[in-house]
Structure 1
Amino acid sequence: MKNIGIVIKLTLILLIICAGIFPLFIALVGKLEPNGGKGETIIVNGKAAGYANVGQKFTADKYFWSRPSVVEYNAAGSAGSNKGATNADYLKTVQDRIDTFLVHNPGIEKSAIPAEMVTASGSGLDPDISPASAYVQIKRIAAMRSLPEDQVRSLVEGHVEKPLFGILGPSKINVLKLNVALDALSANKK
């Protein structure tokens, strides 16, 4: 009987901490973030172009492509495929993505394609790509927009976000922000 009382007290304490104090703390931290924790809306010419914290679908050759998404970038249904690396359907999907990437990026070797460009993220909503994934697309985009490759490379380098505190996480590039800047660069060229 003595143990039952201890278990009930411990359960109540953990319930207060985990279901009360911790969610309130996280909500407070969110409110202290820019835009009150609602994410960053990218505005172009007075209209919302998208959300910087949710992946967007870019398939036109004149844009940098995002990572593939199992949920077609639908933020209401975040999910991965849950298919293993030896699943025949998964391997066919990845091979189809590789073939598509090679068709749209002539001159690129299969071995130069970063894995993230042909595999979906766990959430299906990843807004970022690695610098390597952007660099491998520069030739195609420069040709499609009639821009010098060096100019497109400089734009990419200017959008690389370094790891937090120099050590936490990888370097990354937000695809939506990069493509908005690419449109602005092309518009200024005219």
Structure 2
Amino acid sequence: MKRYIFPAVRLTLVLIVVLAGLFPLFIAAVAKMAPGKGDGVTVMHKGKVVGYANIGQKFTEDKYCWSRPSAVDYNAAGSAGSNKGPSNPDYLKTVQERIDTFLAHNPGVNKEDIPAELVTASGSGLDPDLSPAAVEIQIPRIAKARGMAPERIKALVKEHTKGPLLGLLGPSKVNVLQLNIALDDMQQ
């Protein structure tokens, strides 16, 4: 029996040191070399922190581009989806409420033209980006609320659209916070 217990105990102690001590220290060291030094990349505007580059924020005023809905109200400490399936009655009610709200604020848009990402939350509930199509459908509302020509906003959206990584990986996207900061700057 001793022949099996002592090696098992030694192996357990070695794995505790490696996996609970050395590996977390290694990951922390790598994070300190990343942008934001492991604390997230803050977005500064006029000397003030206005948000984080990789965490979505809630925008509800008509003059702003609205973000993707969040199941956790954009709380990074509780990142999660709703875990409700596409046939769940509560989920369907929530999506319908989001559709109704969007249509009320965006007259002239048909229900079937609304990109799904504007009425469904992401898996993390913190997605900071939208597709160019999800931004473009909001341009008439933003232009009207700001008293600006839609063409100026379209040019700004095009300027803030990031293509796929290396030209092939992933979709094109627009960071909503950075776009909304640019909209405020453009209007001033």
Both proteins in one fold, TM over 0.5: yes
Paired letter, 1:112: D
After TM superposition, give the deviation of residue 130 of structure 1 in Å: 1.3
Aligned to 2:40: 39
Q: Summarize the Cα distance change of 1:7–1:163 in structure 2 as closer, same or farther, 3 Å threshold.
A: farther
Which segment is superposed worse, 21-30 or 143-152?
21-30
Distance 1:141 1:111 in 2: 20
Q: Summarize the Cα distance change of 1:177–1:8 in structure 2 as closer, same or farther, 3 Å threshold.
A: same
Distance 2:160 2:98 in 1: 25
Which segment is superposed worse, 155-164 or 13-22?
13-22
Aligned to 2:178: 177
Aligned to 2:123: 122
Deviation string for 1:128-182 (max 9, x for gaps)?
1111111111111111111111110111111112222223332221111110011
After TM superposition, give the deviation of residue 121 of structure 1 in Å: 1.1
Over the aligned positions, Cα root-mean-square deviation in angstroms equals 2.1
After TM superposition, give the deviation of residue 102 of structure 1 in Å: 0.9
Which segment is superposed worse, 17-26 or 53-62?
17-26
Distance 2:151 2:8 in 1: 66
Q: Summarize the Cα distance change of 1:37–1:105 in structure 2 as closer, same or farther, 3 Å threshold.
A: same
Aligned to 2:92: 91
Distance 2:10 2:16 in 1: 10
Query: Which aligned segments of 4 or more residues in structure 1 are displaced greater than 6 angstroms?
Result: 1-10
Task: Indicate whether 1:74 and 2:60 are aligned.
Answer: no
Q: Summarize the Cα distance change of 1:15–1:172 in structure 2 as closer, same or farther, 3 Å threshold.
A: farther
TM-score, normalization by structure 1: 0.87
Distance 1:58 1:116 in 2: 15
Q: Summarize the Cα distance change of 1:12–1:46 in structure 2 as closer, same or farther, 3 Å threshold.
A: same
Paired letter, 2:63: K
Task: Indicate whether 1:153 and 2:154 are aligned.
Answer: yes
Aligned to 1:30: 31
Which segment is superposed worse, 122-131 or 163-172?
163-172
Aligned to 2:103: 102
Distance 1:20 1:119 in 2: 40
Distance 1:169 1:4 in 2: 50
Consecutive unaligned residues of structure 2, counting only runs of 5 or more, are none
Q: Summarize the Cα distance change of 1:173–1:16 in structure 2 as closer, same or farther, 3 Å threshold.
A: farther
Aligned-residue sequence identity (percent) comes to 61
Paired letter, 2:149: P
Aligned to 1:139: 140
2:168 alignment partner, SS class: coil
Distance 1:93 1:181 in 2: 31
Aligned to 1:166: 167
Paired letter, 2:158: E
After TM superposition, give the deviation of residue 53 of structure 1 in Å: 1.6
Q: Summarize the Cα distance change of 1:24–1:161 in structure 2 as closer, same or farther, 3 Å threshold.
A: farther
2:44 alignment partner, SS class: strand
After TM superposition, give the deviation of residue 61 of structure 1 in Å: 0.4
Which segment is superposed worse, 38-47 or 78-87?
38-47
